[in-house]
Amino acid sequence: MAKIYVSSTIADLQAERRAVMDWIVAAGHQPVHSYRPDSETVRESCLQDVGGCGLYVLILGHRYGTQPEPDNPEKLSITQLEFRRAGESRIPRIALLRMSVPDIALTDLLDPARAALVSRFEREVRDAVRPFEFRDREGLIAGLSTGVLKELAHEPDDREVQSIVATLTRVINEKDAENLTLPGRVRELEEQLHAAVYRTLKAAGQPDASGAAIAAAQALGAGDTRPAEALLGREEGEQAGQIGAPGVDDASQRSQAAALAREQGALAMGHDVGAALAAFQRAAEYQPEDTWTHFFIGDLHVLLGDLEAAMRSFQRGQALAAGLAARDPANTGWQRDLSISHDRIGNMLVAQDDGPGALAAYRKALGIREALAARDPANTQWQRDLSISHEKIGDVLVAQGDGPGALAAYRKALGIAEALAASDPANTGWQRDLSVSHNKIGDVLMAQGDGPGALAAYRKDLGIAEALAARDPANTGWQRDLSISHDRIGDVLVAQGDGAGALAAYRKSLGIREALAARDPANAQWQTDLAVSCSKLGALEYGQTIDGRREHLRRGRAILARLKEQGRLHPQQDWIQWFDDQLAGLVG
């Protein structure tokens, strides 16, 4: 099944649109179009809907159509913007040109200025693709079916594309879960990965495919993105090389080169943060006005430890987002981008120990998200964004010592997470959000001395973590979450004097972490987690001999010492002295 975008003016082509969409459904494909009762924005129509499809169908008559004002310096019609977007995204385009005029009153032929726009658009279409001309329904369907069958003959299997994207996303999230699951990041990242994988598999499926394209597709299937990055890099170079050439639309060329650079950046995130950053920086040079490119650059600077550069990138993205949002306050996409910029900047202020500044930034994001969620309560993305805002505010309040305020914020987040998880129990992302909410509430209750309340919250988290880990045992992120859940329960049981229960919980956590550390000995986070388990077991007196505790402590110390020697131990995790003190205190 292919997602096929259908683009046309409305008033003069209603019957043709219906015939095309009916044929697409009957052929087993999914039709997509941007015309909805609430009149979606140009950005959402062109950049989101078109970009997510595998095939584009244009029905062109004798009417130019609506020319939206925002973000449209050439005053192009929505239909022409969609046609260009499909070309920039390298989506195969099928053009169906109606040669007859059933009702001249529904055309622009009586208006010389608008008729000229129609003619100019038709010339652009004819220059880009070979259109199918039709005069009646039979000719329309004949051209449509011929074009679709031809284009889909070498179309990548969407299931294969989605499978590769899911694998790559998981690898990236495991690399640094905290920084790569910021609001909106997963969706935006997956869009870039989808475009990169689709483009690579499409190139490999052509009859005249190069050996490099075929090898890149095969490597993607095995989880190696480097050949695909090289393939897309060569294509980026070709597009960039045409910028400034006579007769070339520079804006279109820059857009195409930027898209290719962003796709390389997304692919590189899983193995080379520096290469990913360089790719997104090239994209920003081609298209400095793209808000999300600056967000990605900032995120990558965070991963590389350059927080000052990250802040500059986030501020640049915020300036762009604020300008767009002010230009069109009704554009929900731009409003959401502005809220994300506040979150990003809030994160940087947290890192700078500026709690009041971070709280102010998070509350600005919250205000935008409350308005969006109120506007459309059924929009699950906006609901999730709102939940994340409450969590971030709760985090700052915890750091400021305001436990009751933090608990109130976390419980608001929990309510949203519970509703989302209940609406779609199969959505693992929402299940994990629910798990995180229970954890945060448990942490606050534990700090307030409410052991039973904390234990109840942690056990709810454990139930979710166990279900996720059982669903996909290969998902190392979920395995790590499960180990942390066991640790938290163990901590509460220690405080309650239940040594037997704590020992059992800590041993379960240790088993998971030993498996993860053995799977990838070079993963510093998993090695550090293992040292944490050793510290907890080494400090627990119940049910263990002194020799057994000493063995755990020595093992944990050795892990941290090795990481420090390799330069991979974060200063905040350098608690080797603690192990030395514990070992010195053991008698026997």
pLDDT at 159: 81
The backbone torsions φ and ψ at residue 4, rounded to the nearest 5 degrees and listed phi first, read -120, 120
Q: Around 287, how many Cα atoms within 13 Å sit in the side-chain half-sphere?
A: 21
pLDDT at 181: 40
pLDDT digits (tens, 9 = 90+) for 247-277: 777 887 888 899 999 999 999 998 999 999 9
* Separation CA 174–CA 192 (nearest Å): 18
pLDDT digits (tens, 9 = 90+) for 362-405: 999 999 999 999 999 999 989 999 999 999 999 999 999 999 99
Q: Which residue has the higher pLDDT, 166 or 357?
A: 357
Identify the band that residue 330 occupies on the pLDDT scale cut at 50, 70 and 90. confident
pLDDT at 13: 92
Question: How many C-beta atoms surround the C-beta of residue 375 within 10 A?
Answer: 13
Ramachandran assignment for 353, one of left (phi > 0), alpha (psi -120 to 50 degrees), beta (any other):
left
* Separation CA 293–CA 290 (nearest Å): 6
The percent of residues above 90 in pLDDT, for the chain, comes to 67
For the cut 80, the answer to whether the pLDDT of residue 175 exceeds it is no
Q: Which residue has the higher pLDDT, 92 or 551?
A: 551
Instruction: Look up residue 52 and give its amino acid.
Output: G
Question: How many C-beta atoms surround the C-beta of residue 327 within 10 A?
Answer: 12
pLDDT at 270: 87
Identify the band that residue 37 occupies on the pLDDT scale cut at 50, 70 and 90. very low
Question: How many C-beta atoms surround the C-beta of residue 379 within 10 A?
Answer: 15
Closest CA to 556 of 192, 567, 581: 581
Identify the band that residue 34 occupies on the pLDDT scale cut at 50, 70 and 90. low
pLDDT digits (tens, 9 = 90+) for 93-107: 999 999 999 889 899
* Separation CA 512–CA 435 (nearest Å): 18
* Separation CA 135–CA 145 (nearest Å): 16
pLDDT at 413: 97
Question: How many C-beta atoms surround the C-beta of residue 207 within 10 A?
Answer: 6
pLDDT digits (tens, 9 = 90+) for 273-290: 999 999 999 999 999 999
* Separation CA 347–CA 45 (nearest Å): 31
pLDDT at 184: 44
- Are residues 96 and 57 in contact, defined by beta-carbon separation less than 8 angstroms? yes
- Nearest-10 Cα torsion for 519, 525, 531, 535: -130
Domain locations in the chain as residue ranges: 3-155, 158-305, 524-588
The percent of residues above 70 in pLDDT, for the chain, comes to 94
**Average pLDDT over the chain, rounded to an integer:** 90
The backbone torsions φ and ψ at residue 31, rounded to the nearest 5 degrees and listed phi first, read -80, 145
Task: Give all strands (DSSP E) within 102-161, no chain letters.
Answer: 132-134
Helix (H) or strand (E) holding 574: none
* Separation CA 97–CA 126 (nearest Å): 10
- Distance set, CA 382 to CA 78, 324, 378, 388, 509 (Å): 25, 19, 9, 10, 35
- Distance set, CA 113 to CA 108, 109, 368 (Å): 9, 9, 41
pLDDT at 228: 96
- Are residues 484 and 513 in contact, defined by beta-carbon separation less than 8 angstroms? no
Q: 3-155 in CATH: which number?
A: 3.40.50.10140
Identify the band that residue 87 occupies on the pLDDT scale cut at 50, 70 and 90. confident
pLDDT digits (tens, 9 = 90+) for 518-546: 998 988 999 999 999 999 999 999 999 99
Closest CA to 228 of 238, 214, 240, 241: 214
Average pLDDT over residues 295-324: 94
Least confident of 201-205, 343-347, 477-481: 201-205
Q: Which residue has the higher pLDDT, 34 or 391?
A: 391
Average pLDDT over residues 407-434: 95
- Distance set, CA 225 to CA 197, 293, 414, 436 (Å): 9, 20, 37, 31
**Strand ranges of the sheet holding 55-60, from the earlier edge strand across to the other edge:** 30-32, 3-7, 55-60, 93-98, 132-134
pLDDT digits (tens, 9 = 90+) for 459-473: 999 999 999 999 989
For the cut 60, the answer to whether the pLDDT of residue 182 exceeds it is no
Identify the band that residue 43 occupies on the pLDDT scale cut at 50, 70 and 90. very low
